[in-house]
Amino acid sequence: MKIAIIRKKYTFHGGAEGIFQDFLAMLVKAGHEIHIFAIHWEGTDLSRNIHFHKVPAITFNSFIRDLSFAISSFFILKKQAHKFDIIQSHDKTLYQDICYVSDGCHIEWLKQRLRRKGLFGKLTIILNPYHWLVLTIERMIFKGHRFKKVIAMSGLIKNNIMDNYQVNGNDIVVMYHKVDLERFHPENKGRYSEEIRRRYSIDKDEFVVLFVGSGFERKGVKYLLKAAELLRYPVTVLIVGKGSENRFKRYVNRQRVIFCGPQKDVHKYYAASDVFVMPAIYEPFGLVYLEALASGIPVIATGLSGAAEIVQDGINGFIITLPEDYPTIAEKIRFLIDQREEREAMGMNARKLAESFSFAEYADEIMNLYKDIISRKKLSFP
């Protein structure tokens, strides 16, 4: 198949970027010809089966960038549609066969933010023209039915789209992402734990809490740090990802918190950690949860993440209803510190769960969806 993939930009860090990279690798491995339409591409090599097409856009601010990208990609893909079997967008764009919602529903993210802001914060959000642009494009996609199918990363996202835009549930396919079970593996602990702990001067017996993600506000770094401060034990918190560090350092007092920045060798950080915690305000799914589970460490998530649909509370991790309940987050971390045997059992259960998310099954799901859409297109244009 010749498949056009639309993504505004690609960098090596970030959950959605990781999902995108895994998705491309799967399609290339299956022998498909991939054409990427983007403003910018970095951090990965293009194989002979992947062709890059630069989409012209004005990039001096996010509003103009997203507007010009949506307009440019619309005309480019509409003009070239006959060249491709499938056109799939991983961004908010206006011409596609499949709308792959990996970044979530913007209107739902704003609702969660507004609930947690004071008057000034609410005004800042409401008066920001960028949010109105994204909401307008999002509404045009879903209300205007500018797709043949929507792929949602979780039931959470499917419900968000149905509730906010009244899209028929039959038009939305829930496909949980899969994880690289070889790269993220419990055996990495013996391979990389010492290397990472030495890199940051962490003793081999110290308890390490890991966070991985870009966008610290949405993913709940504040609540993690508040929870860590409630612990009577000393712990080290590793924050891996891109975000405004200075805004969150004020929550650090007693505990040691290391902001590591984005890391290409993130699998090594899971290997050096004892628990993964991401108390998200809003998370469409969270590939990082799966990476942690595959690495054999328990996870702590919130009910506002799609991962809450797969994590078994008390078996391979814990689900906290709301991120503001940081005392309960602290309680669960404390349990894992005190109960080493329970922690190790939960880590084994975590790996077992992750092993059920295989790329082979995922590839079959995607291919069946593609074939269904292609057959409908042929019926529409005999």
Average pLDDT over residues 272-279: 98
Three-state DSSP string of 316-345: CEEEECCCCCHHHHHHHHHHHHHCHHHHHH
Residues 49 and 127 in one domain: yes
Report if residue 183 sits inside a domain.
no
| Per-residue pLDDT, 13 | 47
Report if residue 113 sits inside a domain.
yes
Distance CA 127, CA 140 (A): 21
Structural domain range at position 277? 188-354
**Number of structural domains found in the chain:** 2
What count of residues does the chain have? Answer: 382
| Per-residue pLDDT, 363 | 81
User: Considering Cα of 192, then 193, then 197, then 203, what sign does the dihedral take?
Assistant: negative
| Per-residue pLDDT, 325 | 97
Residues 209 and 143 in one domain: no
| Per-residue pLDDT, 376 | 83
Average pLDDT over residues 45-70: 88
Which stretch of 40-49, 72-81, 112-121 has the lowest confidence by average pLDDT?
40-49
HSE, CB side, 13 Å, CA atoms: give it for residue 161.
Answer: 31
Please check whether residue 300 is in contact with residue 32, taking contact to mean a CB–CB distance below 8 angstroms: no
DSSP string, 122-162: HHHHHT-HHHHHHHHHHHHHHHTT--SEEEESSHHHHHHHH
Report if residue 98 sits inside a domain.
yes
Distance CA 32, CA 252 (A): 49
Residues 62 and 134 in one domain: yes
Does the structure show a pLDDT above 70 at 284?
A: yes
Q: Write the pLDDT tens digit of every residue in 78-131.
A: 999 999 999 999 999 999 999 999 889 999 999 999 999 999 999 999 999 999
| Per-residue pLDDT, 282 | 95
Residues 68 and 200 in one domain: no
Residues 107 and 126 in one domain: yes
Does the structure show a pLDDT above 60 at 46?
A: no
Residues 349 and 374 in one domain: no
Residues 238 and 130 in one domain: no
Residues 78 and 42 in one domain: yes
Residues 139 and 265 in one domain: no
Residues 8 and 148 in one domain: yes
Report if residue 217 sits inside a domain.
yes
Does the structure show a pLDDT above 60 at 15?
A: no
Amino acid occupying residue 62: S
Distance CA 37, CA 72 (A): 10
Q: Residue 224: which CATH number? A: 3.40.50.2000
Three-state DSSP string of 225-279: HHHHHHCCCCCEEEEECCCCHHHHHHHCCCCEEEEEECCCCHHHHHHCCCEEECC
Does the structure show a pLDDT above 70 at 43?
A: no
Report if residue 275 sits inside a domain.
yes
In this prediction the pTM is 0.90
Residues 161 and 211 in one domain: no
Residues 174 and 204 in one domain: no
| Per-residue pLDDT, 16 | 52
66 DSSP 8-state letter: H
Distance CA 185, CA 268 (A): 10
Q: Write the pLDDT tens digit of every residue in 322-376.
A: 999 999 999 999 999 999 999 999 999 999 999 998 777 788 888 899 999 998 8
Does the structure show a pLDDT above 80 at 11?
A: no
| Per-residue pLDDT, 44 | 52
In order of 98, 116, 369, the CA distances from 83 in angstroms are 16, 47, 19
